[in-house]
Chain A
């Protein structure tokens, strides 16, 4: 009885893993091929000869890639920190303070996040220009925080809602104030929620393209996705450079995800059961 749906489930999982992982595998394989092999027909699946030349080339010819990765990292960390700080407080207020129309406010927050980022660009650009925020980490962090804060608020508010309210009430009886409860009870207990949300925000920020493209115009301030996308020249499309650079750019995310994987799963499924 129970094995049939299980088999179907496994098949589905394997299929989705293959589908989502195939581009990455292809990317890695491409980065290890010679230029001729990349364009070979019929396509050659495994790199033969196997070469690290592309990696050597990219570090010697365009060392600015490391700068792009570093920029992405700074913006990602900054966005994550600010989003978690603001989103945590807003989410806690929305889930725990008995506010009038908290539900309506949550929907409003969601609605705001539905504006396509591109539609914000002209006004953002003009304002950032006036404020001197173009080509600054602060500027892009503000822009990214604006984009991802609604998501953060929603994730954290629903996480807080799963915490037993009695613990906070006990803390009130013990004599803790609102901020004290948030800081020394709620945050420690919501750690998995913060890690999962933070990681997702970090990845969002790392991958975000339109705002990073427009708000960071100097080469030295570009983020990884933007920098890599600007490799193609007018007449050439250097697949080996792009694939190699992309592999380098996703490594930090893979490493961080691997480290916090347990918390992500815990955070995303929290509240589903005891």
Chain B
């Protein structure tokens, strides 16, 4: 186990800055997830830590040692790849034993270590097979086993579950969690899947366009997104955004009508417009109209209802504005109903329309 420290690490491909000023210390034993859309620089960052990409600027320290120019094999890191990257022409045993063989570990010890790892992952009976004779989940286990056998200081995962089908992905996610609890090794995990990020991470780093948008625990990034990008990226279905304009009396009016809010609990400064964020799960929907109700309750029409099982998603129309709400799946309003929706001021978010930065609460 080791601490990994990235000190203003950057990567440039020609004129393109893929990663900018990545500054972060990953604590010993921490499970850190790098999350972001494709092309955000998360994989490049991981590959720089692995040693598969050179570092253009800044310093990478693992266990207190500068690793910028150290060979991948000497960094004490092991990596699990998206496409498993097993050696197709070698058996499961040889796949897992390769690193140890190259390190000239005595063969009795190799057999012992591979054997124990295979047992841990339920691969014992497959040791003599080649990867082609394994299922996707088993191959991914071999890839993980290959990393574990080396007892690395740091585990690196590059979207390891994205090739698996949905059901298997959930299962493997839980297995990874258990494994991390058992081994307690520092892990850095790249994904574009926010569910994986939320469930696995001690801390999440959300990246956008080569820049770190926010670092925080899953709770923090969900409850207090630092900007509009993070707010829209974390949470499924995504947060609703509404542009609001301030009228002369100080009220905030929806730019597309139907919604007028009294004073908002945000420090809007002198702004004439803000972007309001409301998560679908934070819109309270009650049957019947909103006649006679005051405050932050509005009348809305259900334009579309989608039953997901336990939950249902409602597309709501308030004037020209559209909001997506998540409600319980039993007896929910259906298409064509008129409903009342209530927005809890404590669960609203507000962003600067130009920069996207979250506005502070008053």
A residues whose Cβ falls under 8 Å from a Cβ of B: 164, 166-167, 169-176, 185, 188-189
Contact = CB atoms under 8 A, between A and B. Distances in A.
A170 B89 contact: no
Interface residues of B, number: 21
A167 B85 CA distance: 4
A270 to B, nearest CB: 14
B317 to A, nearest CB: 44
A189 B88 contact: yes
Contacts of A175: 73, 99, 102-103
A172 B98 CA distance: 11
Nearest to A180: B102
A166 B73 contact: no
Contacts of A172: 51-52, 72-73
Contacts of A188: 89
A105 to B, nearest CB: 19
A169 B102 contact: no
Given A169-B52, A189-B88, A189-B89, A174 B73 contact: yes
Contact of B77 (A167, A169, A173): A173
B248 to A, nearest CB: 61
Interface in B56-74: 72-73
7 contacts: A164-B85, A167-B85, A169-B52, A172-B51, A173-B50, A173-B51, A173-B52
B237 to A, nearest CB: 33
User: Taking each of A169, A172, A174, which has the highest tally of chain B beta carbons within 10 Å of its own beta carbon?
Assistant: A174
Interface of B: 50-52, 72-73, 77-79, 81-83, 85-89, 98-99, 102-103, 146
A173 B87 contact: no
Given A174-B73, A175-B73, A169 B103 contact: no
Contacts of A170: 79, 81, 85-87, 146
Given A174-B99, A174-B102, A166 B81 contact: yes
Contacts of B73: 172-175
User: Taking each of B77, B79, B86, B146, which has the highest tally of chain A beta carbons within 10 Å of its own beta carbon?
Assistant: B79
Nearest to B54: A98
Contact of A171 (B77, B82, B87): B87
Given A172-B72, A172-B73, A174-B102, 13 more contacts: A164-B83, A166-B82, A167-B86, A167-B87, A169-B85, A170-B85, A172-B51, A172-B52, A173-B72, A174-B73, A174-B146, A175-B73, A185-B87
B172 to A, nearest CB: 18
Contacts of B89: 188-189
A268 to B, nearest CB: 20
User: Taking each of A172, A176, A188, which has the highest tally of chain B beta carbons within 10 Å of its own beta carbon?
Assistant: A172
Nearest to A165: B85
A62 B151 CA distance: 71
A166 B87 CA distance: 10
A182 B78 CA distance: 21
A170 B72 CA distance: 10
A171 B79 CA distance: 11
Nearest to B84: A166
B98 A174 contact: yes
B262 to A, nearest CB: 56
Nearest to B78: A173
Contacts of B51: 172-173
A137 to B, nearest CB: 34
A89 B333 CA distance: 68
Contacts of B79: 169-170, 173
B99 A166 contact: no
A167 B86 CA distance: 6
A173 B98 CA distance: 10
Contacts of A164: 83, 85
Nearest to B74: A175
A17 to B, nearest CB: 34
